[in-house]
Structure 1
Amino acid sequence: MSTTAEPGLRERKKAATRHALHDAAVRLATEHGYDRITVEAIADEAGVSRRTFSNYFGSKEEALMYGDFQRVQSLIESVRSRPATESPWAALTAAAASFNSELGELDPQSVAQGRLLRAHPALIAAQVQTFAGVERELAAEVSARMSEDDPRGVRARMTAATFLVALRVSLNMWLDAPAGTPLWSIAEEALATAGRGFE
């Protein structure tokens, strides 16, 4: 067997375990309530040990947030693939539109997770922490596209943060909207409103 194939197989197994733990966390939280699930219960549901859980996630909140983290990482990759000539906000908006088209309507598990987030302060705090790291990464992409000076990186960070807030507000509004309301119809308006100071 080739040695180059082994890391790929290991990474696939790690990704599968991480997904299994995330799925188990969301499933248990949805069925029994966030306050009633434990790390041990999530590990059992996924068929792994408590120690294995700790190798992948630091808490049940982190396991629950993994889906959101993955989606935002995919969005950042979409921003990176935009033409270098696009302004920062144009690239962010176009990447969001493209990502939304690929994503389609959120699956029931994602909707259930969104409702859980709004109901529990601990999950909101975990979301803020997750997005703080993503914000820095996104700000670096914004900075690379800026034509004006931004020595402290203030404008780049503000642009990234505003973009992520617009997406989060859109999702929360969509969860309250009548069934059948397209998520992008809300997100597009939110991004256009938020982007007035960054175009």
Structure 2
Amino acid sequence: MDDAEPGLRERKKRETRLALSLATIRLAVDKGWDEVTVEDIAAAVGVSDRTFRNYFGSKAEAVASRHLDRMREIARQVRARPADEPLWESLTASVLGGFGLGQDDSGAQAGRAADTRWAETIGQILAEPAVRGAVLEADALAQRELAAAVAARIGADATLNLYPKLVAAVVGAACAVATEQSLATRPPEPISDVLRCALTQVAAGLPVPTTGS
């Protein structure tokens, strides 16, 4: 019982943290960023305002938490991929998995991105200065964790070797650019398609595209 309780507590904390992050995003889309209060978010999840503040210092941190969780999941999946799988195949599969997408389907997120209003509002939320700052902070932490996962996979030292850090930075940038591209196109392009395209181009060394492609 003593061994199980800490695990249960940690799982419930993760679930509450995720619920608060998703509620922040959902309410900001529905009501507008400036109209959403901490009290609104806490009420939507059924917790106290104090509980929200135990997890996050601001609405922006709550939004950025979703990004951090996703990037950490990518790092976890990189570690779990078959050892003999080529690195960039593992990274692509892990990125799609981190975004909740499969290799052969667009998944629920892609379908949701087809909602133009949703895409426009998410783009506006991500453009908020406070959110941009919080996402940058989260991304720095996420890149360190992804670099460690890549280093472990290739048998390198994550502290001394440049390659894992470069890979983590490039993957993070590719995810950010793909997300922005998906939200900016009209109608919104499925994020799964843009992610695959971005990572394929990166893995190929970013060759200059032919005219019109």
* TM-score category, normalised to shorter length: 0.7 to 0.9
Aligned to 1:145: 153
Q: Is the alpha carbon distance of 1:117 and 1:193 closer, same or farther for their aligned partners in structure 2, counting shifts above 3 Å?
A: farther
Q: Which residue of 2 aligns with 1:193?
A: 201
* Distance of aligned partners of 1:167 and 1:4 in 2 relative to their CA distance in 1, 3 Å threshold: same
* 62 and 23 in structure 1: CA distance in 2 versus 1, 3 angstrom threshold: same
Taking the aligned partners of 2:47 and 2:6, their CA distance within structure 1 comes to 21
Q: Identical aligned pairs, as a percentage? A: 38
Deviation at residue 87 of structure 1 after TM alignment: 4.3
Which of 176, 187, 198 pairs up with 1:168?
Answer: 176
Which residue number corresponds to residue 107 of structure 2?
104
Would you say 1:56 and 2:59 are equivalent positions? no
Q: Could you state the TM-score of these two structures normalised by the residue count of structure 1? A: 0.80
Q: How many residues align?
A: 197
CA contact (8 A) 1:26 1:113 kept: no
* RMSD, aligned α-carbons: 3.0
1:130 and 2:138 are equivalent in the alignment: yes
TM-score (norm 2): 0.76
Which 5+ residue runs of structure 1 have no aligned equivalent?
none
Equivalent pair of 1:87/1:145 in contact (CA under 8 Å) = no
In 1, are the aligned partners of 2:148 and 2:158 still within 8 Å (CA)? no
Structure 2: which amino acid aligns with 1:121? P
Question: Structure 2 stretches of 5 or more lacking a match?
Answer: 207-213
1:23-34 alignment, distance < 5 Å: 23-34=22-33
SS of residue in 1 equivalent to 2:204: helix
Q: Which is further off, 48-57 or 134-143? A: 48-57
